[in-house]
Amino acid sequence: MSYLSLVLSLLLASPAPAQTAPKPRAAQAATSSERVAQYHRDYLERLRAAYFAPGDPRATALLSTATEELSARRKALRAELTAALPGKTGLTIKPTDSWRQELAALNKTPQAVKFFDRCRRNPALETAYQRFLDARLDELFPEAAGR
């Protein structure tokens, strides 16, 4: 009988589901401008990861994944912005000047210079990088033809 009383006392002592701490609320959805800024920060982070990748196969995989994922995110952001601003056509949402400066600084790092040399030696890496650039992921609403 002592075993049964021990089990019952443990069951009675454990908190009921109503007594557990409430779960924290999910963070409020970010505004469109915050999501656009986050998109541009993620673009830089993905590019930085490719530049600093320890090997060409890893850099190639990172660029391919970044191209796919950022393309999908850009498409969703475009749809959201177009829905939020229904009368606007030809939207041009450009990255901030500070973002452009950060990108320029990243492209001047020793790792970026080495990355460009690696691209010249490795056709697969060069192709992945060219696809990344051709996707024009730095622009949410790139012009239709040419730059």
Which pLDDT value is given to residue 116? 95
> Are 53 and 116 in contact, with CB atoms under 8 Å apart?
no
Q: pLDDT confidence of 32, banded at 50, 70, 90? A: confident
Q: pLDDT tens digits, residue range 102-113? A: 999 999 999 999
Lowest mean pLDDT among 3-17, 33-47, 91-105, 125-139: 3-17
Q: pLDDT confidence of 25, banded at 50, 70, 90? A: very low
> Are 60 and 118 in contact, with CB atoms under 8 Å apart?
no
More confident site: 147 or 128: 128
Which pLDDT value is given to residue 9? 55
The two three-digit tokens of residue 40, written as one number: 């541009």
Which pLDDT value is given to residue 60? 97
